[in-house]
Amino acid sequence: MGTVGGLRSLPRCLRCLRCRQHLTPAAPPPPARPARQVDPACDRTFAAEGHDLHSLVFAFLDELLFDFNTSFFAATQLTVTSLDRTAWRITAAARGEVFDRARHESGTEVKAITYSAMQVVEGGGDAEVFVIVDI
């Protein structure tokens, strides 16, 4: 067996692919660099509108994702300043800074917000939002 992509090569049998007994790292992964928290140094205002609650949540999250993808603004604090449940409009004030790969830890990139299985559970003056995102 040779080394391929940092792992020992696998024998060509389905049994070994299932049990993964031959997957052993050739070298330990590099230590993770310490993440720096996002500094709430900049202010932004976000607004969105929809035709019902789910479309409003989708539009608002999509606006946040669009802003991150175009200007790399990462919000660390978000305050809803206006929520109109008749016209289905929302505005929010955000505080954060521009994302910098040299200073901030990154994970899996979110490609899109989806309606798939979206839930908004309201109760006691609070709400929980469940959203599946495409990565």
What per-residue confidence (pLDDT) applies to 5?
Answer: 45
Range of the domain at 76: 42-107
Taken in order 20, 21, 23, 28, is the CA torsion positive or negative? positive
The CA distances from residue 77 to 10, 44, 97, in Å, are 47, 10, 10
Q: Is residue 1 in a domain?
A: no
Q: What is the pLDDT along the chain (135 residues), one digit of tens a residue?
A: 444 444 444 444 444 444 444 444 555 555 554 446 877 778 999 999 999 999 999 999 999 999 999 998 888 889 999 999 999 999 999 988 888 877 777 888 899 999 889 999 999 988 899 999 999
Number of independent structural domains in the chain: 1
Q: Is residue 26 in a domain?
A: no
Name beta bridge partners: 123.
Answer: 126
Q: Is residue 47 in a domain?
A: yes
Question: What CATH number did the domain enclosing 68 receive?
Answer: 3.55.10.10
